[in-house]
Amino acid sequence: MTTNQKLLVKESFAKVVPIAETAAALFYGRLFEMDPSLRPLFRTDIREQGKKLMQMLGTCVGKLDELDDLVPAVKDLGRKHAGYGVEEEDYQTVGAALLWTLEHGLGAAFTPEVKAAWTAVYDLLAATMLEGAKSAAA
């Protein structure tokens, strides 16, 4: 993940913040459309879950320049998600739903460069969460 990619993610996420509730609804709608079997993993109110999602994304985006602080928290999140029943293949579906949401939420601002930047960030976060999940299983 390059410095420019971090900047693109931060700038684009700042445009998502004002539409956070809509973005979260788009994300979960798309996620459950792509894989309805994931719906039972979410036992809380989906609007509340959406707030948590946007908060978590905001924290991750805000800490992109402080990976030493971010990585342990993301690993812990992976351990927790493993406990909820999240499987390794679910991360691909979540990533695709996230990119779809960003594309629809940002419109023309979701350039190929922004997409590549978000893909790099998501890949890093997902790999780190999976490390945490695997350590929970061990």
CATH (residue range 3-137) = 1.10.490.10
pLDDT digits 0-9 by tens, 36-64: 999 998 888 999 999 999 999 999 999 99
Q: What rounded mean pLDDT belongs to the chain? A: 94
- Would you kindly state where each structural domain of the chain is located, as residue ranges? 3-137
SS (H, E, C) the chain: CCHHHHHHHHHHHHHHHHHHHHHHHHHHHHHHHHCHHHHHHCCCCHHHHHHHHHHHHHHHHHCCCCHHHHHHHHHHHHHHHHHHCCCCCHHHHHHHHHHHHHHHHHHHHCCHHHHHHHHHHHHHHHHHHHHHHHHHHC
Model's pTM, two decimal places? 0.93
